Amino acid sequence: MKKREIINLGKRKRWGIWISKSDIVEYLRCGYRVFLSHLTGVPIEEMKDVNKIKAIIERGITFESKVVDEGRFKEVTSEDAIEENISLDIVLHTPVLFRNHELGIQGIPDLIDVQKGKLYPIEIKTHREVTNSDRLELAFYWILLEPYRKGKQKPKGYVLLSTGEMVEVLLTEDDLFEIYCFIDEIREVKEYGTYPTLSQECKLCNLITDCQREVAERGGLSLIHGIASIREQQLKTLGITNIADFAKADSLTLHTSWCSLTTNHPGLNEIGKMQLHAASIMTRKPIFFGESSSFNFCTQNIIVLDLEYDPVSYVWLVGLCIASQENQEFHQYFAEKSDIKEEKRILSSLIDILRSKPKYHVVTYGASADIPQLKKAWNRHGFSSDLWNQLEGRHIDLYTLILRSFRLPLTFYGLKDIEDYFGFVRKGDRIDGLTALDKYYQYVRVRKKETKLALKQELLQYNKEDIKATAFIVRKFKSFIGECIVKQPI
């Protein structure tokens, strides 16, 4: 059946279960939670770890309200307002539930650019670039508004980013096909159920312990690093449904059949690493396949670095530990205000230390965000590019190195997971970066001295514990290699 025919078939059907845009967004995060929520009536938000998502939600609400307050949009309070304004060239703020009865879908678009009946949906987002999820959400709203639209229009929508930029997103037939497929899948999941698949989303979810146990009991493939719902489905199509079968499959044959199934397949080496991970989980033994010389720095003098920052603004805390075999010296530079002057002050202190220890390796844990953020700030202040090149030359991201060299009997490789594995005992609970950011802005706003002091101490302690944990893990690694099974991926 051709895509267009499937789409038209979808348009003729009438459905029993209404699907919303939130269903799409949540389904992309976890289909099992969508099913559980439908089954039990418990809202998905209540299944999430409130402390971890509070900052994200508040940030979204504040930003959206600000955009709506500052924009010159006409607020409407009923579905009929579309009909009343259809010939105008205005943007409507539409806190109204729209329904497409033909498709059984419903939703509340943030804004609608009426453009004389074209009805382009606009989504307000706190991020800085258009994501795949934004595209899907716009596709959803495009088909949601179809019954209200005048004539046949070229599908598109807009995303209003946190940078203030309004980005036009042209929607292709593939985008629309994808959204129809998702709507069908979600309806099926709600009706017939599904099982949990572990992913990074689980770290924000209250059900993680139960789901991890359930997945472990059935040897689910999502225990393996690099396999989440899409790859799990692909492997199911290839006849592999658990880690035992996956571990013993012939890698070359598996690679060939995976290639013939989809273009979005892992390489042979990656499959080999996944199989080692399956073996590690089943035997509960760590496996090493890296270069042991890459870990020479573990017995040398190092600087462990951890930054806290607002991704759309400034670095506000630089924490570091100068660690030799005998000694650990901690330094923390805290911005009293989130502004460029304070950022320059704390980064200048970092630069002084980097200059004073030119031979020390600089170690971070999970540099995918910290280092680009530091580079942006570095350029903002016009700091020496030679010094930056030196820093890059001696920088080691421990997270990347671990994944390049080991598979451990763990599902996740975040700092918390690895420090627990090696037995680091942390003072206080670990908070994530967004919660820390939320607390920092509370610190900046609050006037009461005691509250301010308590918040600052909490933030400094959290940063220091992350640094201590990273330094602790570094010192473990050199001898740890000797305890591992040594095996190459292929």
Q: Give the binding site for ligand SF4 (CB under 6 A).
A: 30, 32-33, 196-198, 201-202, 205, 207-208, 211
- Shortest distance in whole angstroms from residue 209 CB to ligand SF4: 8
**With respect to ligand SF4, which residue has the nearer C-beta, 96 or 208?**
208
Residues 6+ apart with CB under 8 A from 42: 36
Is 198 or 408 the residue whose CB approaches ligand SF4 more closely?
198
SS3 at position 267: coil
Ramachandran angles phi, psi of 421, nearest 5°? -60, -40
**DSSP3 helix / strand / coil % (the chain, rounded to 5):** 55, 15, 30
Q: Which helix (H) or strand (E) holds 91?
A: strand 91-93
Nearer to ligand SF4, 205 or 323 (CB): 205
Q: For residues 310 and 437, is the Cβ–Cβ distance under 8 A?
A: yes
CB of 40 to ligand SF4, least distance (A): 12
Check if the beta carbon of residue 281 is closer than 8 Å to that of residue 485: no
CB closer to ligand SF4 out of 100 and 229? 229
262, 279, 411 from 235: Cα distances, Å: 11, 17, 18
If DSSP codes are grouped into helix, strand and coil, which group holds residue 259?
A: helix
Inter-residue contact 350 to 320 (CB < 8 Å): yes
Longest dimension (CA), the chain: 76
State phi, psi for 83 to the nearest 5 degrees. -60, -40
The least distance separating ligand SF4 from the CB of residue 131, rounded to whole angstroms, comes to 19
Q: Which is nearer to ligand SF4, 214 or 458 (CB)?
A: 214
Q: Name, in order, each residue with C-beta under 8 angstroms of 318's C-beta and a sequence gap of 6 or more.
A: 305, 307, 331, 332, 333, 346, 347, 349, 350
Q: How far is the CB of 22 from ligand SF4 (least distance, A)?
A: 15
CB of 130 to ligand SF4, least distance (A): 24
Least distance in angstroms from the C-beta of 189 to ligand SF4: 12
Strand positions, DSSP E, 38-145: 74-75, 91-93, 98-100, 105-107, 111-113, 120-124
* CB 222, min distance to ligand SF4, A: 8
Cα four-point dihedral sign 56, 62, 67, 68: positive
How many of the other CB atoms lie within 10 Å of CB of 321? 21
Least distance between ligand SF4 and beta carbon 432 (Å): 15
Of 208 and 340, the one with the shorter C-beta distance to ligand SF4 is 208
Q: Which two tokens stand for residue 188?
A: 């099926």
The sign of the CA dihedral 383, 387, 393, 397 is negative
Going from the C-alpha of 10 to that of each of 140, 152, 234, the distances in angstroms are: 13, 18, 24
Give whichever of 206 and 301 is closer to ligand SF4, judged by the CB atom.
206
In the complex with ligand SF4, which residue's Cβ is closer, 40 or 379? 40
Of 33 and 439, which has the nearer Cβ to ligand SF4? 33
Q: How far is the CB of 244 from ligand SF4 (least distance, A)?
A: 21
Burial class (CB in 10 A: 0-12, 13-18, 19+), 170: exposed
Cβ proximity to ligand SF4: between 31 and 272 the closer is 31
Query: Residue 345, class by beta-carbon neighbours within 10 Å (0-12 exposed, 13-18 middle, 19+ buried)?
Result: middle
